[in-house]
Structure 1
Amino acid sequence: MSELTHFNEQGRAKMVDVSDKNDTVRTARATSSVVVNETIYRQIENGQIKKGDVFAVAQVAGIMAAKNTSQIIPMCHPLALSGVDISFEWNVDESAGHYEVELVAAVKTKGPTGVEMEALTAVSTAALTIYDMCKAAGKEMVIGPTMLLQKTGGKSGDYQRD
């Protein structure tokens, strides 16, 4: 049985010591989505959301969240991120009344630990920001599912969601 690395001698959670790990290039991509109604879809597309450019604000919020992940996820290490990008793509089926924006966050660093949590935090915060920007036009929006798509680097190797 392998030693549990996230617990101290008293069985309490601890932040893992990564000082002996090699710095390697690490990337992660995560996704989420926000399902909106037709009114919200049209308002976003026509720049009519009163709080401003929804995707621009959500992108900045997601980038800020990635940079600050260690401030809100207790066992995450502060990381010097070398890149964060968030993309938005509509998945619309007007005949079915389906209006969904898919978000993907891509995060990169060169360091001793991975950036999965930063990618997940970025995409989650961007989705929450879309909700916040649009809630005056309808509160029935649905966020998610949110998941890791891919990660590279590190001792555990690469991961790709099927």
Structure 2
Amino acid sequence: MSTIPTISKEERKGLVSNFSIRSVQLKTEAQKNRKEEVIDPKLLPREPFTEAQFLDAWRDYIQGLLAKGERLQASILNISNVSLQGTTIALEVGSHIAKDDILHSEERMLAFLHKALLNYDITLLVSVNEEVAKKIVVTPEEKYERLLTENTALQEFRNALGLVPKA
């Protein structure tokens, strides 16, 4: 049988319950005493970078999203058309919902890219382009057509085996 740990009066003496008035007072005092560091934006690095370096950092960010389990955000970024115009990232997405999702996480994305590329002038410009949405294949016929454009030998393979797609 395991015993229940106990805390002596001496150990409890300095503790304050989160639900007490005293804890509210302590929290407000802590906020007043906390000094926020103000960083001069002119002192932040602005190292030049190439498009290849940007694309590497972009892929790293997407891999980080996948590692965290944020697959929807990662797939939106993978499907979208991304280009670099100076220090502005031009991103074309397929819907307004995808745009809102990206803008919601813009701060986190830019913080990652600022640190990865050592350039704090990077900005994001997101636009909606319905053509990007056409990249998403849903039905089996669309999937087959997409695979056929990537590998023309697929038709010969299907004919050789006598495969017929289901209607």
| Higher share in helix | 2
Instruction: Flag the structure with larger Rg.
Output: 2
Report if TM-score (shorter chain) is over 0.5: no
| Higher share in strand | 1
Task: State TM-score, norm by structure 2.
Answer: 0.32
